[in-house]
Structure 1
Amino acid sequence: MAAIDDLLAHQRTSAALGQVMGRLGWDQETMMPPGAAEQRGEEMAALETVLHARRTDPKVGDWLAQAEPRDEVEAAHLREIRRGYERSVKVPADLAAELARLTSVSQGIWAKARAADDVAAFLPTLKQVVALRREEAAAIADGGDPYDALLQDYEPGTNAAEIAALFDRMRPRLVALRDRLAGAQMPSSLEGRFAKEAQLALSAEVAGVFGYDFDIGRIDLAVHPFSSGSGADVRITTRVDEAEPLGCLYSTIHEVGHACYEQNIAADLRLTALGQGVSMGVHESQSRIYENQLARSVPFTRYLYGRMEAHFGALSASADDFARVINRVETGFIRTEADEVHYNLHVMLRFDLERQLFGGSLEVADLEEAWNARFASDFGMEVDKPSNGVLQDVHWSVGLFGYFPTYSLGNVYAGCLHEALRRDVPDLDAQLEAGDPSAALAWLRENLQRHGALRTPRETIMHATGGAISEAPLLDYLDAKYGALFGV
């Protein structure tokens, strides 16, 4: 066999083991008994040890040196395998295993601390996580910026300076739109009790409308909704609040966007280096365009109103006002519940704190105080409890530093995709009002999803849209949408 064939066979087994490890993570957040946390940490460490050995096997370096791609697909395989190999060989095996063990245990500690609003119960563990990630970042950076090194795990090809410049361009228009909307009359939230079973039934129905394949997927409950897996086993989770049904519904649609990206990657790429989303920013572009530009659009909310009445009976909002209810703008504490106007401001806060943590100007012991001060400055509200502040997100407990900015990159990418989608599907609104997003889903599948990681993140978006990447389409969309809805 040629060196490239040996390399791809080795990579396929590693990818399969990675999926097994991911399934353990899914189980931990959905079904694992709480007393199993310590053992699960050991199991995760054991699997990471095996995977790290495979990723850093000297044979991989030899194969990469000898391999000659026979087409553009094999060239892309080599690009992605080489990137992973060069990163992995810089990280000591014992550090990789300890990170896997600690972040598995840490997630459970965070969940308990969040439920009890007890920051002190979590900070010692978070301090250990940050210390290990700092050590890992320093090893990967090899003298460069540690935070930039972490960003490559989630959005290859970008750096903190580029993201900071993007945020500096976005912030003035977002704040100006927020300020204009502050004087608008907002509708009330939906009133009543919305049974858990009915919410889950509607969520499953709408997941199907948006193309989620239940033959290779399932929906479960979790503290923090997420999508897990790729190829022929892609699972999502949601959460239920019987006083507020829109959270469950739109969390589900958001995760369906992630899941459909993975489900729709070409079958011949499964369990390869290309058989997954190319970056978290591109991944987030799918979840955000499903959730916002499609499912929160005025036409789709007209369809959704009827489906909600079918599941819950008469609603407290009228059909004419329902789109305004769905898109109501309100300053709040929780990122995952934020409207489109406020959402990116939440991300910017986290991005700046992460840079400070890894730049040496902020320590874990001071993180809550820094969070609360920054939130008060950006949002004009005092954080009332830790679960509405520094404890609200799962990401830091599992070591995902560098992940948060990809949410806003995803919004920017989604803006570009939406602009191109409307160009190519001119009757999109009529289709959405009929509850039929199939043309939009087919466009996304053909132009982006099926290709997996064939192209780099930026190339993926530019290939799909046929144009350059810019924040302007997103900001123009927000101005137009909210201006029309609320007369500002």
Structure 2
Amino acid sequence: MATQDSVPDAYDDLLERYERATYIADAGQVLSWDQEVMMPEGGTPARSKQKSALSGAKHDVLTSDEFADSLEASEAADLPQPERSVVREIRREYDRAAKVPKSLVERISEETSNALPVWKQAREESDWSQFAPQVETLLELKREYAEHIDPDADSYEVLFADYEPWLDLSVAEDILEQLREELVPLIAELKDADADLASPFEGGTYPEDDQMALSRDTLEYLQYPFDRGRIDTAPHPFSTGTQFDARVTTRFDESDPVSSIGSVIHEFGHATYTLGLPQEQYGTPLGQHRGLSVHESQSRLWENHVGRSRGFWEGYAPMVNDQFGTDVSPQEGYEAANQIYPENLIRVEADELTYHMHIILRFEIERALLAGELDVEEVPAVWNDKMEEYLGVRPDSDANGCLQDIHWSHGSFGYFPTYSLGSVMAAQLFDAAEDDIPELDDKLRAGEFDALHDWLTENVHSHGQRYETNRLVKEATGSEFTADAFVEYANEKFGDLYGL
């Protein structure tokens, strides 16, 4: 960063105001975490008002005349890098916020808080009709939100930019189409392959307490700092926090411990990115993550390229056996973690390849909903038809179909493509890490994660929002962002596993 003497007073004032908005937003995150993890069931009416008030307070700070004046003066100043990046990010956020009425911001916040317990109950009772009115309301509010920001743009494109600000929606569409073209025939080949991969956990019962103990051991093995985090259970796994306090959650299926293992490692990836952001930049854009595509690249890298690697299971299998009293070999654990299950109904439990069919399905449904081409009450039938078309299986209930994800209760329309963008980005980043870190696989086999963690911190985490997404990938890997590394990785890894 530049010295104090090299930046104008307007920039300092801008940063002070922006930091205040960040602190308010982070307080809202803690309230959201509490609502999903700890809050009594009856607390929603108060919590929705509290979160609405915080959203309004943040909006007030970001859209004040004083904020705008400091922003304009900062843009006119001859600032060094990375201060110009800070101003670029703040300008983008201000321009979007200033177009949206405070009353709408507060109402969206309140409605999402109210929708959460409705989604939980609808999921428990497997009844989409209970949740449908909340979805309709949130769709209307998010359409209105998008229209305020850009009345001439596709509403989905506007909402997608909330999660991925620096990649055009067309990039996501092209990557999803490439994944469909490449993965559908590969998955078909794998299904027809004469391979008998190990299923060492099949038929067993793995109590939740034992799985939680393994989850904690897994996080400690990966060097998660519990003095800056914690693990809890939630209806839908997630991670949230700051570089000082990044928490993870998971959930358990007593018949399938592999699912929770993947979930915990995935959320660890999110948390380690958050914890790796520069502490001295907390509150500024340089202390915030680049966007959801990059965030998902970190979770998918640790989940898939580390947690589903043969080397990882060399060191990890003994921990699993100690906890469950099993005798699973590293090779059996590796095979169990990488079996292709097209018949799987649940996205967060999906294998590495069919996972993307789940994303494509949600992307198509969201676009149709926002465009008014699909009625909310039609979602279960369309969802089930698409599951049958893409994966050859029909959900047996709404809970295992259109109610499985929490995102729509958050009003997070436009989020899902970032999962696939993150997955393909993870492959590109991991390739670069392998080139730069001698004998990385041997290090993973030995449970030595410092080199990979340091590489990711240096090349991704430490930059915060200094670079736009494609520039960040290019700085880290030397190449433009593409799906090519993922396609090559998928064909090589699964071709070897299934003997293609």
Which residue identity is paired with 1:32?
A: M
1:418 is matched with which residue?
430
> Offset of 1:56 from its aligned partner?
0.9
2:209 is matched with which residue?
197
> What is the correspondence of 1:33-72 to structure 2 with a 5 Å cutoff?
33-67=40-74, 68=77, 70-72=79-81
Show CA shifts across 1:126-184 (max 9, x none): 11111101111111123112111111100012333332222222212101110111023
Residue pair 2:313, 2:445 contacting (<8 A) in 1 also: yes
1:218 is matched with which residue?
230
Show CA shifts across 1:339-369 (max 9, x none): 0110111101111111111222122122222
Residue pair 2:139, 2:411 contacting (<8 A) in 1 also: yes
1:128 is matched with which residue?
137
Q: 2:251 aligns with which of 232, 239, 247?
A: 239
Residue pair 1:462, 1:468 contacting (<8 A) in 2 also: yes
CA distance in 1, matches of 2:474, 2:46: 45
Give the SS at the match of 1:251: helix
CA RMSD of aligned residues (A): 1.4
Residue pair 1:261, 1:450 contacting (<8 A) in 2 also: no
2:324 is matched with which residue?
312
Which residue identity is paired with 2:15?
A: L
CA distance in 1, matches of 2:499, 2:24: 53
Identity %: 37
Q: 1:91 aligns with which of 86, 89, 100?
A: 100
> Offset of 1:242 from its aligned partner?
2.2
Residue pair 2:285, 2:464 contacting (<8 A) in 1 also: no
CA distance in 2, matches of 1:137, 1:196: 42
Q: 2:401 aligns with which of 375, 381, 389?
A: 389
State the TM-score, normalized to the length of structure 1.
0.97
Give the SS at the match of 2:354: helix
> Offset of 1:325 from its aligned partner?
1.1
CA distance in 2, matches of 1:270, 1:5: 15
1:108 is matched with which residue?
117
CA distance in 2, matches of 1:128, 1:97: 14
Show CA shifts across 1:268-296 (max 9, x none): 11111221211000000000000100111
> What is the correspondence of 1:289-438 to structure 2 with a 5 Å cutoff?
289-315=301-327, 317-331=328-342, 332-438=344-450
CA distance in 2, matches of 1:296, 1:9: 43
| Count of residues paired in the alignment | 487
CA distance in 2, matches of 1:130, 1:69: 42
CA distance in 2, matches of 1:487, 1:126: 45
Give the SS at the match of 2:240: strand
Residues 353, 159 of structure 1: CA spacing in aligned structure 2 closer, same or farther, 3 A cutoff?
Answer: farther
State the TM-score, normalized to the length of structure 2.
0.95
> Offset of 1:408 from its aligned partner?
0.4
Residue pair 2:252, 2:259 contacting (<8 A) in 1 also: yes
Residue pair 1:302, 1:319 contacting (<8 A) in 2 also: yes
Which residue identity is paired with 1:122?
A: F
Residue pair 1:44, 1:101 contacting (<8 A) in 2 also: yes
CA distance in 2, matches of 1:270, 1:69: 24
CA distance in 2, matches of 1:292, 1:5: 42
Give the SS at the match of 1:387: coil
Which blocks of at least 5 consecutive residues in structure 1 are unaligned?
A: none
